[in-house]
């Protein structure tokens, strides 16, 4: 099974501007590779903070990618697991685009689960440990897991050394501020990462894809 973290980051390693909010750092090239990563995935995982900032999630639009998924017998979009420490969504608004998007939403919570999934969610999963979640997904046949951020979630999974691949779009911006793509308190394992792919995406953006080597 493979867990791939996908982020668009500035030259100074930020994933959002100093004011935070709904960050859109990447251009058309980043959008393209994000859709390719979504098309690769069996499921996607995102932090509730990112959903609160955007009120929606990213979708695959390109017909050839949707076609590839259909020919593999997959749903058009990978189910989206929204991770939270709350038993139900807090600060989620009824007016968000999220509710109208063609996405299966799964609530992923480290709090004790309620008797039924929250409204708008097809499933709820207990997050007792990240390894346990990955084992459960694997046993259900979901072997390609895409982590869409944000920083807190990236930090949690890197801390447990569960990220196999890092896919970063480097965007030609200097943002400053506190929103590094890993929280300052994160303590990821000191692996070397093996460069698997580097690809100019146009408009000064570069895709870098690294694989964890296991060597520290």
Ligand X SMILES: NC(=O)c1ccc[n+]([C@@H]2O[C@H](COP(=O)([O-])OP(=O)(O)OC[C@H]3O[C@@H](n4cnc5c(N)ncnc54)[C@H](OP(=O)(O)O)[C@@H]3O)[C@@H](O)[C@H]2O)c1
Choose between 119 and 192: whose C-beta lies nearer to ligand X: 119
8 A C-beta contact, residue 36 and residue 201: no
Size of the site for ligand X (CB under 6 A): 28
8 A C-beta contact, residue 59 and residue 101: yes
CA distance 99 to 125: 19
Q: Does 118 bind ligand X (CB under 6 A)?
A: no
Length, in residues, of the chain:
216
Q: How far is the CB of 169 from ligand X (least distance, A)?
A: 8
E strands, the chain, where? 2-10, 43-47, 80-84, 105-109, 123-126, 144-147, 165-171, 193-202, 205-212
Q: Does 58 bind ligand X (CB under 6 A)?
A: no
Q: How far is the CB of 83 from ligand X (least distance, A)?
A: 4
Task: Locate 182 and state its tokens.
Answer: 């890993």
| Lookup result for tokens 């609160």 | 52
With CB under 6 A as the contact rule, which of the stretches 98-106, 132-140, 150-158, 201-209 interacts with ligand X? 150-158
Choose between 68 and 126: whose C-beta lies nearer to ligand X: 126
8 A C-beta contact, residue 26 and residue 202: no
Q: Provide the mask over 165-194, with x wherever binding to ligand X is found by CB under 6 A and - wherever it is not.
A: ------------------------------
Q: Provide the mask over 191-210, with x wherever binding to ligand X is found by CB under 6 A and - wherever it is not.
A: --------------------
Q: Provide the mask over 81-100, with x wherever binding to ligand X is found by CB under 6 A and - wherever it is not.
A: --xxxx---x----------
Q: Does 127 bind ligand X (CB under 6 A)?
A: yes
Count Cβ atoms within 10 A of the Cβ of residue 154 and give its class: 0-12 exposed, 13-18 middle, 19 or more buried.
Answer: buried
Q: Provide the mask over 151-170, with x wherever binding to ligand X is found by CB under 6 A and - wherever it is not.
A: xxx--x--------------
Q: What angle do CA 21, 24, 25 make, to 5 degrees?
A: 115
Q: Does 25 bind ligand X (CB under 6 A)?
A: yes
Q: How far is the CB of 150 from ligand X (least distance, A)?
A: 2
Task: Locate 21 and state its tokens.
Answer: 């909010």
Q: For binding to ligand X (CB under 6 A), which residues are involved?
A: 7-8, 15-16, 20-23, 25, 47-50, 53, 83-86, 90, 110, 127, 148-153, 156
């Amino acid at each position: 099974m493979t867990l791939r973290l996908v982020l668009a980051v500035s030259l100074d390693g930020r994933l959002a501007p100093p004011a935070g909010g709904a960050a859109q750092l990447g251009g058309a090239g980043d959008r393209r590779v994000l859709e390719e990563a979504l098309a690769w995935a069996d499921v996607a995982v995102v932090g509730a903070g990112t959903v609160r900032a955007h009120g929606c999630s990213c979708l695959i639009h390109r017909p050839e990618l949707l076609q590839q998924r259909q020919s593999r017998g997959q749903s058009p979009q990978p189910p989206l697991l929204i991770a939270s420490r709350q038993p139900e969504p807090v600060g989620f608004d009824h007016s968000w685009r999220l509710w109208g998007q063609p996405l299966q939403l799964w609530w992923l919570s480290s709090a004790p689960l309620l008797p039924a999934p929250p409204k708008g969610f097809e499933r709820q999963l207990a997050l007792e440990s990240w390894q346990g979640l990955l084992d459960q997904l694997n046993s259900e046949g979901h072997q390609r897991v895409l982590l869409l951020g944000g920083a807190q979630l990236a930090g949690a999974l890197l801390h447990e050394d569960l990220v196999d691949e890092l896919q970063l779009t480097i965007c030609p911006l200097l943002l400053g501020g506190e929103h590094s793509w890993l929280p300052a308190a994160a303590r990821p394992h000191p692996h070397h990462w093996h460069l698997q792919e580097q690809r100019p995406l146009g408009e000064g953006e570069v895709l870098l894809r690294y694989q964890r080597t296991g060597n520290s």
